Chains A and B, each alone.
Chain A
Amino acid sequence: MSYGNLETLYRQVIMDHYKNPRNKGLKSGEDYYQVHLKNPTCGDDLTLQIKVKNNYITEVHHDGSGCSISMSAASVMSETIMGLKIEDAKKIIDNYLHMVKGEAYDAEIDMGDAIVYQGVSQFPARFKCATIAWNALDKVLEKHKVPDEK
């Protein structure tokens, strides 16, 4: 059977991350920045934790429930940004959002496996699923900027 467009959305990598998510499960400890995002219309629910040292992301953890696109994206994102400088992570967030919206994006920026979410641009109804983890990252990095916090 040919599945047409679906095959561009549900790539093997995506389903692999869905079935075997990396960095899943939260840690306890004070030195994590954490955000919790929900998409109430579809029930996606995601908590993201990061640790930052000297402007580098040194740990990423996530937990939650939702569809294969949202959950795999959290896993892929956690691998993609691990060890990156905050500014570089932000560039990737921007670039990724452009890509899944179907807008022009910079193919030179290394986004790791996140590149496989290109197919989402043909499924506008799934845009929210593909971006919840990245929006959470954006928010958690904002928290890190707050003065008085380490």
Chain B
Amino acid sequence: MDVNEIRQDFWVLANSSLAYLDNAASSLKPKPVIDMINHYYRDLGVNIHRGVYRLSYEATDLYEKARQKVADFINCKFEEVVFTRGASSALNLVASSLGMNEIKAGDEIITSELEHHSSMLPWQNVARIKKAKLVYVPLNEEKKITVENFKKVLSDKTKIVALNYVSNAMGYITPIKEIINLAHEKGAIVIVDAAQAVPHQSVDVKALDCDFLAFSGHKMCGPTGIGVLYGKYEFLQSMEPIEFGGDMIDYVGLQEVTYKDAPYKFETGTPLIAGAIGLGGAIDYLLNIGFDFIVKQEEELRTYLLKEMKKLSDITIYNPTTETGIIAFNINGVHPHDAASVFDEDDVAIRAGHHCAQPLMHCLNQIATIRASLYFYNNKADIDKLIKAIKKAKSFFAQFM
């Protein structure tokens, strides 16, 4: 695989000087994915599951084939894949349905300060309303979730464990497999926020044995507005829908209703058909690139970036032991937003902010950090541009010190 060839697949990168290093926020979208989306809108454009005419049949077929692609991709059954608007709505679905119906006063819900707001806030809400207790895994010195620390908060009262697989703010990989095993010994249900994992490494939900897992299409070369909730079928079947209306029903009477089986009872209304089809295209695209290549490329670039950054003075790296392509840092004495404007002038796209992880920012004692996040289409030149921009920001603001 040649990165420069891969870069030609992306309109945003082809013939541009942009160093796109905000992949944790959203990845860029390659041409084959855009072609699939266009195919639906241009050649089909009709609803699914309803029409008996050929176009509708074709659209339905593509939509459901995308579901099968997701199932094969994460190693689960077809009917265990619920399409949602993204990771956030997938995580909310579990909390709103299972959480609101099963959690009782005094139950304990484990989460962490390393979570994206979308992973912890739905459970904070459940805990508040149901008078359950929200318990945080103590982070270690590096702000990592460890198995040892997880054991300290796991108890017979633990009903839910809601944790990230890869942290969007620090790039750490949670030892999720061991955590799932331990949680299951206590009969707790584990919900994995895999929004930053699925795009970058091969994920097998059966091997993990997680009960639920959520991710978004737009961070893995797919469209925005589509995501996935994986749930073990027996859980999905026993859960109440949270939205009611067209398509999700079996029989409708004046006072009673029966629902379709999962996943359809969670998919009311006309879905994002093109989005699901585009996500299927993204999976094909990623599998063609291959996770071996993706992991290797990100690791090489991360090593190079850290090496170059460590040569610079007046830089604080918050996660020098990051295990993925996410690097969080600040230029000492320069507010991250001021630095970001310098980067923007040099066509370096990074993120400055709290990364939807305010509790972690409190832990780090920072208002915000600068985050560079890599994907397989980045190259050394992108890193060199970033390093040059960091130097420029340093010298520019040094004038005023």
Q: What is A's interface to B at a CB cutoff of 8 Å?
A: 1, 3-6, 9-10, 12, 15-16, 18-19, 41-43, 65-69, 123, 125-126, 129
Given that A67-B337, A125-B341, A125-B344 are known contacts, is A43 also in contact with B368, CB under 8 Å in the complex? Answer: yes
Known: A42-B352, A43-B353, A65-B367. A19 touches B344 (CB 8 A): no
The minimal Cβ–Cβ distance linking B304 to chain A, given in whole angstroms, is 24
A1 CB contacts on chain B under 8 angstroms:
392, 395-396
B338 surroundings in chain A (CB, below 8 A): 10, 67-69
Picked from B335, B345, B395, B396, the residue with its CB within 8 Å of the CB of A67 is B335
Interface string of B319-343 (1 = CB under 8 A from A): 0000000000000000111101110
Nearest chain B CB to A44 CB, angstrom units? 8
Q: Establish whether residues B341 and A12, one from each chain, have CB atoms under 8 Å apart when the complex forms.
A: no
Chain B positions within 8 Å of A126 at CB level:
337, 341
Interfacial residues of chain B within 349-395, with CB under 8 A of chain A in the complex: 352-354, 361, 367-368, 392, 395
With A43-B361, A68-B338 already in contact, 7 other A-B pairs whose C-beta atoms are closer than 8 Å: A6-B396, A65-B367, A66-B367, A67-B335, A68-B335, A69-B338, A126-B337
Which one of A3, A43, A66, A69 lies within 8 Å of B396 (CB-CB)?
A3
Main secondary structure of the interface of B (DSSP, over half): helix
- Of A4, A6, A15, A42, the residue contacting B337 (CB under 8 A) is A42
Picked from B353, B392, B396, B401, the residue with its CB within 8 Å of the CB of A41 is: B353
B392 surroundings in chain A (CB, below 8 A): 1, 3
* B400 within 8 A of partner (CB): yes
Q: Considering the chains assembled together, what is the distance between the CA atoms of A5 and B344 in angstroms?
A: 11
Residue of B nearest to A126 (CB): B341
A19 to B399, CA, bound (A): 12
In the complex the two chains form, is A43's CB within 8 Å of B400's CB? no
Beta-carbon contact of A129 and B337 below 8 Å? yes
Whether the Cβ atoms of A19 and B396 lie closer than 8 Å is no
A1-B395, A125-B341 as given contacts; A10 in contact with B352, CB under 8 Å: no
The bracket for how many chain B residues form the interface is 20 to 34
| B residues at A contact (CB < 8 Å) | 335-338, 340-342, 344-345, 352-354, 361, 367-368, 392, 395-397, 399-401
Point out which of B335, B353, B396, B400 has the most chain A C-beta atoms below 10 A from its C-beta: B335
A12 to B401 CA separation, bound complex (whole angstroms) = 11
Contacting pair A42 B341 (CB below 8 A):
no
Bound Cα distance from A18 to B333, whole angstroms: 12
How far does the alpha carbon of A10 sit from the alpha carbon of B338 in the complex, in Å? 9
Q: Top 10 closest A-B pairs, CB basis? A: A15-B400, A67-B335, A43-B367, A67-B337, A43-B368, A67-B338, A68-B338, A3-B396, A42-B337, A42-B353
* Closest beta carbon of chain A to B385's beta carbon, Å: 15
| Residue contacts A-B, CB under 8 angstroms, 24 given | A1-B392, A1-B395, A4-B345, A6-B341, A10-B338, A10-B396, A12-B400, A15-B400, A18-B400, A41-B353, A42-B352, A42-B368, A43-B353, A43-B361, A43-B367, A43-B368, A66-B335, A66-B337, A67-B335, A67-B336, A67-B338, A68-B335, A68-B338, A129-B337
**With a CB–CB cut-off of 8 A, which chain B residues contact A16?**
400
Contact with B400, one of A9, A10, A67 (Cβ below 8 angstroms)? A10
Give CA–CA (A101, B6) in the complex, Å. Answer: 38
Instruction: Give the chain A neighbours of B345 by CB distance below 8 A.
Output: 4-6
Cα distance, A18 to B399, chains bound together (Å) = 13
Residues of chain B within 8 A (CB-CB) of A5 are 345
Query: What's the minimum C-beta distance from B349 to chain A, rounded to whole angstroms?
Result: 11
Q: Name the residue of chain A whose CB is nearest to the CB of B366.
A: A43
CB distance from A5 to the nearest CB of B (A): 6
Distance, CA A16 to CA B337, complexed state (A): 18
